[in-house]
Chain A
């Protein structure tokens, strides 16, 4: 264990609790001393501390001991009183302020790091002024009347040799009422040891006079108590530091004073007091008496401070005894005295004195280095007692606490010390601040370090400092606290720390540092709206104060979502619109697959490229001079719930290879006010094009900003980062390279290992032609079925022509390239049927359609600075949203570049969300139903149902056409009777019946003339002479083919219809409101699948007159069999001879229908057979069997072969001759035959509805044979 005297507390006590010598001196003494620039006390003080005085001391016990260290404290009498609290506080404040200035951290020094602090030694961390401050704080408590150790032990009376009547002066000095109050008010014995000192300045003359006075003094005051001090004042106030011959004088003087006067005096007093105390208080009798006496006193005295003890009271004497013993290091005696008196004070409720004594007990135990528990208990007891007494004794509590803390620190109980520091904090904010800061250091230094507590107490301390206007201290503590909170997720408090540091720096006018701290709290999404507003407002305010523009690398407002960074550039791929650029590369590539040269060709130009371009940049991307590069940066403002700051975004580019890069940027959406400014470069300032766009970003909003760079010359372009300006003075800077976040290069050909820097590096090659393309007057909204004529404009603004144009449209069902001849024709008229025009186009396009690539004629090229228009047909085939991708491929002429071709990619999203939106609304719902006429070959009844599904439009029906040259369509009844107005109003349903007739294609030429075909039916008003539209020519035919393609998947039919209506009102988006909009609805493959693929008809005479008397009548019939399926089929025709007479068979029919069998032969009425009714084969079979069961001779027989087999090619017709022989006149039903058919399987699997084989019974065919006469 360390000697308690060598601990900090021990040293402090040995320094502070020492005998006090009161100095009384005449003004002349002071005057002489002041010549040397010192007061008298200052002059003597350095010699009052004796490290080895080596004086034998004998106190109460008989055993003497030697005292080595000794110190006396000199005070002027005027200073020996309780210091003025205000003055003391002011002095302390100055101490703190000065310390604040000294300790204030360098502006640009780094924030302290916890680990750094921990690795350093305690003495390096702790601010040195703490010790000083604590000492000063303790001193403010000097000379309280209840503590005897501050009472002067001796009095030093000093008179100058120049004083007149020196002896009287000595007497006067002590009798003046300048004496300390406790000498006069009885708290202290006024009879103190007096020592007389004569000061003689050798400059004032020879020392004879002084010697004379000294002799006089000695005779008056006693020979031992008088001394002469000769000093040598400097002539002119100049001090010479070497050669101080009088210093030894003074030293000897003081040593003599201590050892010969003060210590013996104290010894004597101790012995005296001890004797008194022993006689009055020690022993059982005295104690009992004392107790009894105090009990009686209790009622009488009830003052708050307890009784007043004069110096003569036994209590005061005991206290003096204890203090003197303590000062002379007789700690045993001191403890026993203190303990004795402590109970007295407690009984007397003299709490302040009690606490003071307890305090001393604790200290004494500490100095004795025994019963530590007791020592701490006493200190705590004293501290608590002081605290209970309230603010009046706050100073005492503070001092007691500080001593206690030192005690704890000595014993390594640093944590406990910290809590005591915390408890010391009283009403005085400034002192509390210092105490809290010391507490925080205790936590830091405790093992293990308690960093959380450290931070918390630093913050508390900083707040206190702030309240006392000690801004620099506040900043210092908060800066230390930052190290604790940095990196935690406790954002609320982290923000507070930074915010306050920023504010405080700003209040000191150090705006630069303030800004760095304010920057930390900008992205505080966890804060409330008001706090965020406050933060931002203060931040901007501070920034404004700095009066300069800041460039900040980590500006957190707005947050840039770096993963959204997309660099879009055009190499051989060019884009018509940003929307097109945002489409996935894969979509385009699959579209362009068969259009652009193969990949090997690409690697070829890469090879060429490697020759042209330094190897270093081989993996870089290519872009073309004069063309824009866009990078999308997405600032997010989710942090700030409201903010209306202004800012700028700009793109940083550096350039290499002396490339002069020209950067212009633009922003697509303007919300958060960001102004886009330009970039830099030394040489390029003159050629900058500046495009500033402001946008404001509301709180919580995310927008995509698009910036465009247009390099003007060849070289290398590197995109470095983005810069933006917040509120015109803060420049945020985000370096793409530095943070290796996953970057997406939207259009770049990806390599498996892609260095991010390569993504942002571009080789700028020579300017190349670049086609611009757009489609004007593409409707935004239309109804299904809309057919339009559009024009594709291709614009070549370069100096070079381009050739070999090819175009591919992703969805030809909706958009189709037209023939050049359609470019300038008037729409809708050009579709009309022209008599003299031969069928061109039409199916000639079939091949083109299959591969979907439209080759522009070879002679078409887009010359320099011209544009090319090309007709397009648009057909809104189905309702809904449709995306259209159009790629135009072209090759450059006369350009020796590494790029041989380019593509222009256009994208139109038929979606109402985008600018180019086309939303196709449902219009008419057209459906057809076909029913065959059983008796007639290739004739069908067609029912058309049309529903107008629009909400307001009125369509005028115009035309129904069947496609292909095989069908005749005719109205069953005039349109007038069904729809007199010829207009379909919203929601109206129309059903219309038509007769559909198959028009056989015969080999003879006259039949093939389409003009004889009635494939179109005019549905318009009867008087209308409007031409019908030609569905067999482009574009209707083209679109129809696509419709066939799309609709043909599910069913197998072979009749297609085009229903054409017109809409006169142009209230939906329309380029030409005066002309009707044309709507074509295509219904393909109207199904016949529920019928057998084989149909036939029997032709022959219906009525024959024959003279049966001559011979039986032979009748030739012709059966036409048609195979309507796509497969070859074999047909087997079998005839059965009728088992009974025709009449019987009729009877069978009649009996089935419930008619009486009246007439066996002869004329009778035939039940009407409904042509349209399907007679099932089952019914026929029954009838046959019934007929067979009847036994009678047949009246006609089939002649010729009874069984015919034939093969029918797909969609072919064959004729089978049949012959019967009739024996008697009558009406015969020639239905007793059957067709067995068998479809040859074809490769593609057919729908299940199609039978592969079947048997059909013959249709009724009535032959009337009359007897000719």
Chain B
């Protein structure tokens, strides 16, 4: 149950950070918003695409460059997903390929 609690806490933290994303997204033209929120040791970094899709990363390390590259590559993957005519924007991405790719990116950059 402890792992579940942690997972839920992470979701809560990410969810709570949405407020700040909302504010920040319109103040800058950069897609990478850097670390925008924190809860204790947990830091939330956000990347907002031009279509206002938000990639949020919860992390505790401070490797801004890596996170930025990570987000950029995930963005590319996401665009590929969007190109799929059967994918409904905003719906859950079920592609396992996407998943493995993102995991590989995470290993590479984070």
Binding site for B on A (CB under 8 A): 443, 448, 450-453, 455-457, 459-460, 485, 488, 490, 492-493, 496, 528, 530-531
In whole Å, how far is B64's beta carbon from the nearest beta carbon of chain A? 22
Q: A492-B8, A530-B4, A531-B4 are in contact. List 11 more A-B contacts (CB 8 A).
A: A448-B23, A450-B20, A451-B19, A452-B15, A453-B16, A455-B15, A460-B12, A490-B11, A493-B11, A493-B15, A528-B4
Q: What secondary structure prevails in chain A residues at the interface with B? A: helix
User: Can you spell out 8 A-B residue pairs with CB atoms less than 8 angstroms apart?
Assistant: A448-B23, A452-B16, A453-B19, A485-B15, A488-B15, A490-B15, A492-B8, A530-B4
Determine if B16 and A455 form an interchain contact, defined as CB atoms under 8 angstroms apart: yes
A492 to B4, CA, bound (A): 9
Query: In the complex, what's the smallest C-beta–C-beta distance from A997 to chain B, in angstroms?
Result: 67
Contact residues in B for A450 (Cβ distance below 8 Å): 19-20
Whole-angstrom CA separation of A485 from B23 in the bound complex: 19
> In the complex, what distance in Å separates the CA atom of A490 from the CA atom of B12?
9
User: Closest residue to B90 on the A side, CB-wise?
Assistant: A489
Across the interface, do B11 and A452 meet the contact criterion of CB distance under 8 Å?
Answer: no
**Chain A residues in 8 Å Cβ range of B18:** 452
- Total A-B Cβ pairs within 8 A: 36
A1186 CB to closest chain B CB, in angstroms? 76
Q: Name the residue in B7, B11, B15, B20 with the highest tally of chain A Cβ atoms < 10 Å from its Cβ.
A: B15
Instruction: Quote the shortest CB–CB distance from B37 to chain A (angstroms).
Output: 9
Q: Is B4 within 8 A of A452, CB to CB?
A: no
Residue of A nearest to B7 (CB): A492
Contact of B17 with A by CB under 8 A? yes
> How distant is B87 from chain A, measured CB to nearest CB, in Å?
16
- For residue B110, CB closer than 8 A to chain A, the reply is no
The CA of A453 and the CA of B18, in the complex, are separated in Å by 8
Write out the residue numbers on chain B whose beta carbons fall within 8 Å of the beta carbon of A455.
15-16
Q: Provide the bound-state CA to CA distance between A490 and B20, in Å.
A: 17
Range of interface residues on B (Cβ < 8 Å) = 10 to 19
Q: How far does the Cβ of A692 sit from chain B's closest Cβ, in whole Å? A: 38
Binary CB contact string for chain B from 10 to 44 against chain A (1 if under 8 A, 0 otherwise) = 01110111111001000000000000000000000
Q: Which residues of B contact A453 (CB under 8 A)?
A: 16, 19
Say whether A456 contacts B8, CB under 8 Å: no
Q: A490-B11, A492-B11, A493-B11 are in contact. Are A456 and B4 (CB under 8 A)?
A: no
Task: Verify B17–A496 contact, CB threshold 8 A.
Answer: no
Residues of A near B7 (CB, < 8 A) are 492
- Chain B contact residues, majority secondary structure: helix
Rounded to whole angstroms, the CA-CA distance of A705 and B20 in the bound complex is: 49
Instruction: Tell me the minimal C-beta distance from B99 to chain A in angstroms.
Output: 15
Check if A452 sits within 8 Å of B8, measured CB to CB. no
**Chain B residues in 8 Å Cβ range of A493:** 8, 11-12, 15
Most chain B CB within a 10 A radius of its CB, from A450, A457, A528: A450
Residues of B within 8 A of A (CB): 4, 7-8, 11-13, 15-20, 23
- Closest chain-B Cβ to A536's Cβ sits at a distance in Å of 15
- A496 — which chain B residues lie within 8 A by C-beta? 8
CA A519 to CA B86, docked complex, whole Å: 33
Bound Cα distance A453, B12 (Å): 9
Nearest CB of chain B from residue A484's CB, rounded to whole Å: 9
B12→A459 contact, CB < 8 A: yes
The smallest C-beta distance from B79 to any residue of chain A, in angstroms, reads 22
What's the Cα separation between A443 and B16 when bound, in Å? 11
Contacts of A456 in B (CB 8 A): 12-13, 15-16
Report Cα–Cα, A528/B6, bound state, in Å. Answer: 14
* Alpha-carbon separation in the docked complex, A455 to B18 (Å): 11
Least distance between B56 CB and chain A CB atoms (Å): 12
How far, in angstroms, from A496 to B5 measured CA to CA in the complex? 9
Q: Chain B contacts of A488 at CB under 8 A?
A: 15
Shortest Cβ distance from B35 into chain A, in angstroms?
A: 16
Cα distance A528–B13 in the bound complex, in angstroms: 20
Provide the residues of chain B in CB contact with A490, threshold 8 Å: 11, 15
Complex: how many Å from CA A531 to CA B3?
11
A384 to B11 CA separation, bound complex (whole angstroms): 30
Expressed in whole angstroms, the Cα–Cα distance for A488 and B16 within the complex equals 13
Q: Kindly provide the distance from the CB of B10 to the nearest chain A CB, expressed in whole angstroms.
A: 9
The interface residues of chain A lying within 8 Å CB-to-CB of B17 are: 452
What's the Cα separation between A488 and B18 when bound, in Å? 12
The 7 closest A-B pairs by CB, nearest first: A456-B16, A450-B19, A452-B18, A452-B19, A493-B11, A452-B16, A453-B16
Tell me, in angstroms, the Cα distance from A819 to B28 when the chains sit together: 89
A1176 to chain B, nearest CB (A): 63
Q: Which of B8, B11, B16 has the most CB of A within 10 A?
A: B16
Set of chain A residues within 8 Å of B11, measured between Cβ atoms: 490, 492-493
B5 nearest CB across to chain A (Å): 9
Q: Provide the bound-state CA to CA distance between A488 and B15, in Å.
A: 10
B100 to chain A, nearest CB (A): 20
The CA-CA distance from A450 to B8 in the complex, in Å, is 20
Can you name the residue of chain A whose Cβ is closest to the Cβ of B17?
Answer: A452
The residue on A at minimum CB distance from B37 is: A453
Q: Given the complex of chains A and B, what is the CA–CA distance between A456 and B19 in angstroms?
A: 11
Question: In the bound complex, what is the Cα–Cα distance between A531 and B17 (angstroms)?
Answer: 26
A1157–B8 CA distance with the chains assembled, in angstroms = 111
B13 cross-chain contacts in A, Cβ below 8 A: 456
Which residues of B lie under 8 Å from residue A530 when comparing CB positions? 4
B40 to chain A, nearest CB (A): 10
Docked pose: A826 CA to B56 CA in angstroms: 81
Docked Cα-Cα span, A453 to B23, in Å, equals 13
**Residues of the A chain whose Cβ atoms lie less than 8 Å from the Cβ of B16:** 452-453, 455-457
Compute how far the CA of A443 lies from the CA of B11 in the bound complex, rounded to whole angstroms.
18
With the chains together, A443 CA to B17 CA distance in Å? Answer: 12
Q: Which residue of A lies closest to B19 (CB)?
A: A450
Q: Which residues of A contact B20 (CB under 8 A)?
A: 450
In the assembled complex, the Cα of A457 lies from the Cα of B39 at a distance in Å of 11
Report Cα–Cα, A530/B1, bound state, in Å: 9
A341 and B74 alpha carbons, distance in the complex (Å): 57
State in angstroms the CA–CA spacing of A460 and B40 once bound together: 13
